[in-house]
Structure 1
Amino acid sequence: MRTALKTLLSAAALFLLAPAPAQQPAALSLEEAIAATLADNPAVRAAEYEERAAVQERRATIGLRMPQINVVGAYAYLGKDIGFDFNEMKTPVKGFAGQILGSGLVPPQMIPQIQQLLDPMLNADWFLKIQDRSLGTVGGQVTLPIWLGGKINAASRAAKIQERTAVAQGDQTRNALVSELVERYFGLSLALQVVDVRQQVVDGVRKHLEDAIALEENGMIAKSERLYVEFKMAEAERELANARLQAQTISSALQNTLNRSGETLPLTSMFIVDRIEELSYYQDLAAKYNPLLNQVALKHDLAQEGVKLQRSNFMPQVVAMGGGSFYNYQVTGIVPRWAVGVGVNFKIFDGLNREYKYSAAKQTVRRVGELQNKVEKDISVLIEQLYNQLLNYRNQMTSIDASLTFAEEYLRMKNAAFLEGMASSSDLIDAELNLAGVRAERLQAAFNYDKLLAQLLEAAGISEEYASYARRDNARAIHFDKK
């Protein structure tokens, strides 16, 4: 009973201390990986924010045609009151009054009374205040542009061009991400299959080593033959370890593109399409849909709007304006409470500033035009280069498949000869490594084809169609062997 209890407790302890099972890798098809990348990648979200910002900037130009309404308030303390000073006239007035009182025209008994009435007036401060030195006001102002020489139209069209440019930049980002994903997705597929190839080499060399040890014990081969196989065994194990490290590195890169933390395994195999469209088909698509070409064309349109904007500086500007006060503190009633009017501004001379800027804008149009021509030629040449390289790797597959068939048969023959003592261990190992090399070359050619296809479609501006190429009837899946 005690023994059974001890066994039960030991089993429970082992269960509690056992590590939790590792998270299983998620297998994604190529279409699922593309969808996840375009939905979750930070670069895509950044491009979306850029597009939204451009939309808001374009909407902001609508306000240029609207009236501008401001509420303003001000308080001022002046150096002195505003008014008319008549103190200089008091002396002549006093003299004139004295002359009248002394002329005898006024009865003497009335002079004291009149003098008593005139003294306060003549001794007072003869300053007529119109506005107190302390004043404040709160009011509103309205301005409405009537004609600004075309500035508003140019700004509105430029904002629309910037919005379309942001969309083209977003398309370029998404196309580049598809190419990046294809390179890392199939790069991981390549790396994992290279691991399989290297593992197969290790297994094969291990079997050859076992055979070599048995043959050496029977005196059929020399010790050097067995040592050579051991040397190749260590070399094969080292290459297998390097292949696994390479697969881990590419797996991390793929997780970064997918913006996922868990390990992902490619479900779609590398492929070769036996026949694609003609070169002119992709060049024509690039002329319409290549985001970089679209951006350069939009920059040319934007430069032309810049010329129109500089031209508007030579035109008069007409603005309607009005305003009124809501509250006044010690403001004289002489000042009107509201006013409306029209203002005109026409610049005659500004030191040739407008002329030079207008000339610079026209030079910008010419510069962007030349740049547009160069980019069009560069894209056309790039597509031709990618297309020819694509065909080259497709054509290589035929000869590589033939080499693979020969290498498999050659290894079979050498293995049979080695067991009969008619072939050396070096011949057998060389045949094994030759087969592994041909298989790796075949996988590398398929990977290069798929990567170039992604770059070709990116240059043509149709990266979203990449997954459909893998589903074509004439698309062949490529694995580390023909099976």
Structure 2
Amino acid sequence: MHKNTFLICLIMLVFGFTKPIIAQQLDTELKDLIKKGLEKSHFINIYNLDKEQSKVDQKLAKAVFLPKITFGASFTRLDDDITFDDDTQNLLLSTQKLLIKEAIGIPFNDAFPTNIPLTEIPNLQDKNILKSYVDLDWVLFSGLKAYNALKASKHKEASLSYVTTVEKDKIALKIIETYDKLALVYASKKVLETSKKYLNEQEFFVKKAIKNGLAIPISRKKIELAQQQLIAKELEYNHNKSLLIELLHQLTGKSRTHLLMLHPKIQLFSTEKIDSKKRNEIKALEEAEKATLYKAKMENSNFIPKIALKGHYEFIDDDLSLFDPKWYVGIGVKWNAFDGLNSSLKSKKTKLEKKKYSEKIREANEMIALSIINAELTYKSALQNSKIIKKEIDLSLENYTLINKQYKNNLTTLNDVLDALNDLEKANFKLQQSYFKERRAYTNLLHARGVLKY
């Protein structure tokens, strides 16, 4: 009775861990690992910084229309004052005398009074020049260059956003796969435990048989060899477990202690109709294509006239020359009629880049269509394989039930019962492996159709 109870408990343990859990979404622990992995990813952080740069480029394009105000000051010393020549100075002094005589009523031909001072003729420019000023430069129309630059930056930012999502998908897929592998390794532990119990039972009966002269010593050596092989498998289990824990640690940044406390199980997604959505890879290429289009327009806009306003104001007027204004304001037009084909060649090069993106989009669509077909076929194959293994389990269970009945009626040995149970255990683990492949295939199908959620 005790032996039968032990076997019944053992068979319940077998079916307990092989039953799949149908889930429509990832479990909480796996979601948390993916979240940590995305936060830790250096690639994603770099892409986010690239997006921030694109936003700055957009602000730079808008800032073209903001007025630029510049304050400045300078001091210059010339070798000498700049003055009128002697003839011009004499002419100006004579004219001054005539005006004074006319003002005080002295006849034109009379001599100029010596007691009336004359004003000195000012220098055209003093040799010491001190200036303090403010300049205003204000672009009123950039010839659509700033507008096209703004649109190009926006599409570049959108492209980088989709590229970031593509990278996130890759990281999520890697973490899901590693997590599932860890679940499969933990499932294999139960097989090892059952095999160990099986070998201990075998060893007990072989020793008893040898003692009673019913077996030879070589049987014990076979048991010892099997036990050594089991030790090697346990070492392999520990190696695989440590390796997967280390990989999850690197991917997510989670502590090894925390990861060792996880108890992942292979969970199947609920199968439902999957509608395909445009992949982020395609969206990224399309946005990059639009960015190159506006970049080409920006380069062509070099031939459109630009309009700008210019202003200047002098704070210090003492050292200004006779020809220097105190302030001025003006509006000007700049029209680049011919730049040596530089802009047109750059635009042509950018248009060729746009064509390259068009080719990449067509290639990506073809590859995605192929990946969807491959994922569907792989998933169907995994489902069929699971069905076959379930049949194997049914057969192993029937065989175990039959042998167990024979054992109860003393028609066979306990070794035969344990052999049948071991076969059942291995068949259940094969089903776990098949569920692992099924889950991998379905995850890849979700990703291929662009509907993977995490």
What's the TM-score once normalised by structure 1's chain length?
0.72
Residue 345 of structure 1 corresponds to 334
Q: Could you list the per-position Cα deviations for residues 133-154 of structure 1 after superposition, in whole angstroms to 9, with x for gaps in the alignment?
A: 3323222222222222210110
1:330 aligns with 2:325: no
Amino acid at match of 1:292: E
Q: Any conservation in 2 of the 1:137–1:325 contact (CA below 8 Å)?
A: yes
Residue 37 of structure 1 deviates from its aligned partner by 3.0
Mapped to 2, the partners of 1:366 and 1:164 lie a distance apart of 19
Aligned to 1:37: 34
> Whole-Å Cα distance in 2 between the matches of residues 229 and 329 of structure 1?
112
Query: What is the aligned partner in structure 2 of residue 71 from structure 1?
Result: 71
Q: Do the aligned partners of residues 385 and 131 (structure 1) sit closer, same or farther apart at CA in structure 2, a change above 3 Å counting? A: same
Kept in 2: contact 1:197–1:439 (CA 8 A): no
Question: Could you tell me how far 1:311 is from its partner in structure 2?
Answer: 1.0
Q: Given the alignment, which residue of 137, 140, 149 partners 1:143?
A: 137
Alignment partner for residue 273 of structure 2, among 277, 283, 293? 277
**Is 1:156 paired with 2:153?**
no
* Cα shift at 1:442: 2.1
Deviation per residue, 1:25-78 (Å, 9 max, x gap): xxxx72343145325622255555554444344334321222222223333344
Residues 306 and 48 of structure 1: is their aligned pair in 2 closer, same or farther, counting only changes over 3 Å?
closer
Task: Please tell me whether the aligned partners of residues 213 and 226 of structure 1 are also in contact (alpha carbons under 8 angstroms).
Answer: yes
Deviations 1:256-305 (CA, angstroms, capped at 9, x unpaired): 33322132344563233463325xx22xx1x2xx2211100001101111
Cα distance in 2 for residues equivalent to 1:315 and 1:363: 23
Distance in 1 of aligned mates of 2:370 and 2:46: 31
Q: Percent identity of the aligned residues?
A: 16
1:392 corresponds to = 381
**2:353 is the alignment partner of 1:364:** yes
Distance 1:37 1:461 in 2: 18
2:315 aligned counterpart, secondary structure: strand
Is 1:382 matched with 2:358? Answer: no
| TM-aligned CA deviation for residue 387 of structure 1 | 2.2
In structure 1, what residue type is equivalent to 2:203?
L
Match in the other structure for 1:263: 258
Change (3 A) 1:303 1:48: closer
Written as runs of structure 1 = structure 2, the 5 A alignment for 1:17-28 is none
Cα RMSD (Å) of the superposition?
A: 3.6
Judging changes above 3 Å, is the alpha-carbon distance between structure 1 residues 411 and 75 closer, same or farther for their aligned structure 2 residues? farther
Q: Shift of residue 239 of structure 1?
A: 0.4
Map 1:267-306; keep pairs closer than 5 Å: 269-273=265-269, 275-277=271-273, 281-282=275-276, 285=277, 287=278, 290-306=279-295
Q: Does 1:450 align with 2:439?
A: yes
SS at match of 1:188: helix
Listed as ranges, the gaps of 5+ residues in structure 2 are 1-25, 94-110
Q: Are 1:185 and 2:183 an aligned pair?
A: no
Q: In 2, distance between residues paired with 1:369 and 1:295?
A: 12
Cα 1:421–1:359 change in 2 (3 A) is same
Does the C-alpha gap of structure 1 residues 148 and 47 become closer, same or farther in structure 2, counting only changes over 3 Å? closer
1:129 aligns with 2:98: no
| Alignment match of 1:230 (pick from 224, 230, 239) | 224
CA deviation map 1:305-336 (0-9, x unaligned): 11101110122222122121234573335411
Local SS of the residue matching 2:84: strand
SS of the residue corresponding to residue 141 of structure 1 reads strand
Q: In structure 2, what is the equivalent of residue 480 of structure 1?
A: none
- Give the 3-state SS of the residue equivalent to 2:324 in structure 1: coil
Alignment of 1:204-215 (within 5 A): 204-215=198-209
Is residue 87–residue 127 contact of structure 1 (8 Å, CA) maintained in 2? no
Matched, 1:170 2:164: yes
Instruction: Measure, in 2, the Cα distance between the counterparts of 1:348 and 1:437.
Output: 82
Secondary structure at 1:263 match in 2: helix
